[in-house]
Every structure is written in C-alpha cells, then in structure tokens.
Amino acid sequence: MIPPNSLPRLMHAASDRPLTLAQHEAAFASSTSRTSLLDELEASGLTGRGGAGFPTAQKARLIREQRGHNKFMVVNAMEGEPASHKDQTLLSANPHLVLDGAEYLASMIGANNIAVCVARDNPSVVNHVGRAIHERTRRSLRGPKLELHTPPWRYVAGEESALVHWLDDNESLPQYRPNRPHILKIGHGPALVDNAETCANVGLIGRYGAQWYRSLGTAATPGSTLVSVTGAVDHPTVVEVELGTPLRTILATAGADPDPQAVLLGGYGGSWLDGSHLDVAYDNESLKPLGVSTGAGVIVVLPKSACGIVETQRIVHWMANESARQCGPCAFGLPALAEDLSHIAHQSRDPRGAHVRLVERCAVIEGRGACRHPDGVIRFVRSALDVFANDFSNHVRGSFCNGTRATRHFATVPSLEREEELVWE
C-alpha cells in the first residue's frame, strides 16, 4: 500500500532489522507508471540532503545531457559528519529504498553503473547494503550494474569530488572546483553523486509522484527530512520531520534540552544559532535570514552550562586534522585557527591577542582554499564569534563563561590523530 501523506515516509515500515527486498516491495507498492521520471523529479522540488541543498533534478539533467555511454550513478553514504548518523539509520532500516532511488536516477541519466559507497569503518552498514545488493542482483541481471565500494572514513572523503577521486584512483582528495555545478568523472564517464537520503526520497517520488511528495513540507522546501540530534539530549537520535517544523518542536521530539544556550545546525561546517531563535521553522528559506541552513541535517544542542568557545575549539582542532592539506589555508590556516581558539578557551598566551588574530585569519583564509573545507570552518568560527560574543569577551578578560571551567563536552569529536600518524589512502 502507498504510505499515507504523513510521517514517517523515509522510515515507513522500519524495524530493528533491515527490510528484505520482498518486505520492502510489500511496504512500498508502486503506483501508476509515469512517462518522465526526470520531469516528475523536477516537479517535486527535491533538493539534496547532503549539505549543499542543490536541486536534484538539475544535477540529474546536467549529467543526462553529457555525451558518452559510460556514465556513473554514485550513492554517497560515507556520512563524514561525526554528529550525523541519519544515513546509517536509513540504511540499517531499509537499504532497498536508497537503491530504488539510485536505480531511478541511473535510468534518468543513462548510467550503466551504480557505485554505492559506504565507509569501511562501519561494517554493520556495509553488511546491510551488501546483502541488499545481492538480493537485487539475484532477482534480475537487467539494468545498471550495482557495486558496493568501501572507502576509508574521513571527513573530506565524503565530499563528492573526493569520493569520485577515490573511485577513480584510490585517493580521497577533493578536487579544485572554482565553479559549480561541475562535471565529475570516473575515467571518462560523467558521474552523478547524491547522498543516501536524497536517493531514498527519489525512490519515493519515483513510486508515488511529485504531487504526493509535495503534500508535506512548504511550497519552497517540500517533503520530509531526517535529522540527527546530538549534544544535550537523552540519547543521540534520528528523527524524521516535515520541513517547516519549528526547531523547538524537533528538539522536543528528540528529547533534547528545551532551553539550550545554542544549537549547531548543518554539521561541523555549519553555524551556531542562538537559543533565542528556537521558534524558527526548520527549512532553508526560513533559516537563511538568520545566517544558517539545514546543511547535512545535523543539530547539536548546547546547554547553558557548556562553554561554546571550548566546543568550537574542539571541533576546529579536529577539522584542521581532517583537511586534505593540498593548500596553505588547510595546511597552515586551520591549525592556526585552532591554536588561537585554544589560547582563548584556556586563557593562555595572551588570549586578547589570540582573539584579534582569529578574526584577522578568518578574513585571510576565506575563499582561498583548493576546496570548500576551509570556508566551512570559517563560517563555523564566525558564527561562534557572533553567538558567543559575550563569552569571548569574558575569556579575553580572564574569566570563564559561567564563572567556572566547563568540565563536560557535548559535541562529538572523534579521537584526534597526530599529524605524523595520518595515513591517506
């Protein structure tokens, strides 16, 4: 039967075990066929859920127009954001919905190959996806070839150009792209890259159409989306919400602190938002005037007892180590930002001077990286300078935010590796 025009959609029929192909097809029965899936996708208004928010149909049409027969559809399930686990949740519940969308997109662009990329560091999800692909290939040998790829997990490895680079020659390095959209290629074949949640939405649109899809959400940002909520919550969780839902309602649904100091939206390349703005609708049109976006679908909740400067410093330190080191802004600029923040957070080596340098470095680094990684960090730091302005003033003067040193951390930061121990594949 067709899922109702209500939530959940992406997580419809989800259980504690991945749906088999037969269970998936019973839960997501197809409606009448359509003459043009690409036109239907365009009418749906779906935008990518990986962070950039680019119109999915526009990306597909761009690749469709490229010449050549060796085109690729790439499913990006790398989930490089440490605070995100929505792709993991989706693929652990129903990998077939993601594969449906990948097959629809492959047919739209004329691709003969579908590469599904899951980080090798997540063996349970690798296993779920591998089993799903095996089920589908046993059912039929027709259609595009489905292959599972397991690149190493790193933050930049999930950036689409870095992922295509790895598929092409085993190097997880972002490619220089001054203008977007930019045609990425595997060998000589154009590649369309969409993240797992985007593909799952395409799977729903392919089955039920644009009108059904647009029955939830807003006119500008239709549909539903998955959100990873971490930080000051009872348990880190993933919730499916209708776009346009008030941020306050999402926090309540997730069991989060109802009166936080701030929330980080969009992931570690996103922005802090002051806790006074919780009644804003969770969609890019509503968030844009506040200088934030939904980004990669991450919300990190920061309570009033926490130190926003310390949390920011920890994340920037990790992001500096996760850079590709292909240019000066990544190799030298980001570590310098982390060092400045450390002096301010811990009030060592002239925190006042470190604050001045931090502001100056942001202006120097912005827009000069070989990829967009430094710009994401700059955006994040500037939002901290704005939202935690009073705390920065206190730290510079020699006092802590709440009169005491913060002892608990709320942002998920993986173990930081020493520079000489980093191994790139």
How does DSSP classify residue 416? P
- Give the pLDDT confidence score for residue 418 in this predicted structure: 39
Phi and psi torsions of 104, nearest 5°: -60, -45
- Give the pLDDT confidence score for residue 422 in this predicted structure: 39
SS3 for 175? coil
State mean pLDDT over 91-112.
Answer: 96
Q: Which residue has the tokens 């802090």?
A: 272
Mind listing the pLDDT tens digit for each residue in 114-165?
Answer: 999 999 999 999 999 999 999 998 776 677 899 999 999 888 878 888 899 8
Q: Going from the N-terminus, what domains does the chain have, and what CATH number goes with each? A: 21-213 (3.40.50.11540), 224-302 (3.10.20.600), 310-416 (1.20.1440.230)
State mean pLDDT over 318-346.
Answer: 89
Calculated CA dihedral for residues 323, 298, 226, 151, nearest 10 degrees: 20
Count how many Cα atoms sit within 13 Å of the Cα of residue 332 in the half-sphere of its side chain.
6
Q: How many whole angstroms separate alpha carbon 403 and alpha carbon 93?
A: 45
State mean pLDDT over 271-298.
Answer: 96
Predicted confidence band of residue 424 (pLDDT cuts 50, 70, 90): very low
Phi and psi torsions of 89, nearest 5°: -65, -45
Mind listing the pLDDT tens digit for each residue in 298-321?
Answer: 999 999 999 999 999 999 999 998
State mean pLDDT over 63-84.
Answer: 91
- Give the pLDDT confidence score for residue 53 in this predicted structure: 80
209: left (phi over 0), alpha (psi -120 to 50) or beta: left
Residue type, 44: S
Task: Kindly report the pTM of this predicted structure.
Answer: 0.92
- Greater pLDDT, 222 or 155: 222
- Give the pLDDT confidence score for residue 419 in this predicted structure: 38
